[in-house]
Amino acid sequence: MTPNEQDKRELIELCKKEYKGNKSETKLVNEFDVEYRSSKAIWWYTRAGKSSLLQALFRLVDQSAISGAILIDDIDISCLSLNYLRSHLSVIPQVPILFCGTLRYNIDPFEQYSDEECLRALESVQLKQLVYNHPQGLSLLVAESGTNLSAGERQLVCVARAILKKSHILLIDEATANVDHTTDRMIQEVIADKFRDRTILTIAHRLNTVANSDRILMLQQGEVAYFDVPSNINLT
């Protein structure tokens, strides 16, 4: 899981994963894999199991309730420390996660990057002006859940955070579902530019939003219904 190695063939492989939750059993069956530096979309219906898939990747579920394995670079993620695993994953969620604190804290909570790097990340998502329009600059106070920002600004802050983190695997969970068309297009363009050398998993409810993915996987009732290139799938 080291992005600087030129010959690294990063592979995410899901091998007959099953998770039995408190109320019902969610099965993610049929093996599939995601190649290094490729973009894959997961198209899902309600209750298809996409939440279970995300939880499994981040190991947010009780591992004793799981059978099967998720492999990254042929390494079972259950063998990795949580800190190491999650440090190599970034997510742009459907509902932006923002905290009460400065704008800088919200994109760099562990103070790993310089002010210049933070400004470049914000400029990439067209939020640099937000900094310059306030005397506090990067110390601009963000309210809990970002309630003093617009819906689009909240999501763009999450994209800037992912740009800074430089994780080699990016998970996008319906990131443009709650923003206007202009912000949607901007986010899509930023992802195509800034994450072109990353492995991307995009979760979407609308097929037309993931038509540019290398391959599309459809989940139905927790099972892989098909996994194919977009040209072989009816996107209407």
d(C-alpha 119, C-alpha 129), whole Å: 10
Compute the distance between CA of residue 152 and CA of residue 187 in angstroms, rounded to an integer: 10
Q: What is the pLDDT of residue 231?
A: 80
Residue numbers of the chain with a pLDDT score lower than 70? 1-38, 40-51, 65-66, 207-208, 222, 234-236
- In tens, the pLDDT along 158-195 reads 999 999 999 988 999 888 888 888 998 899 899 989 99
Would the CA dihedral through 130, 131, 132, 134 be positive or negative? positive
Q: Which two tokens stand for residue 170?
A: 């990016």
The C-alpha atoms of residue 12 and residue 189 are separated, in whole angstroms, by 24
Q: What's the pLDDT at 44?
A: 53
Is 104:139 a contact under the CB 8 Å cutoff? yes
Q: What is the pLDDT of residue 224?
A: 76
- Report whether 214 contacts 40 (CB < 8 A): yes
Tell me which amino acid residue 205 is: H
Alpha-carbon distances, residue 79 vs 29, 71, 84, 110 (angstroms):
21, 10, 10, 25
The per-residue pLDDT for 7 is 41
Residues 6+ apart with CB under 8 A from 9: 35, 36, 73
pLDDT at 48: 52
The pLDDT assigned to 139 comes to 96
Half-sphere exposure of 180 (CA within 13 A, CB side): 5
- Please give the domain boundaries of the chain with CATH numbers for all domains: 11-220 (3.40.50.300)
If you count them, how many residues does the chain have?
A: 236
Return d(Cα 41, Cα 172) in angstroms, integer: 9
For residue 25, the cross-strand partners are: 20
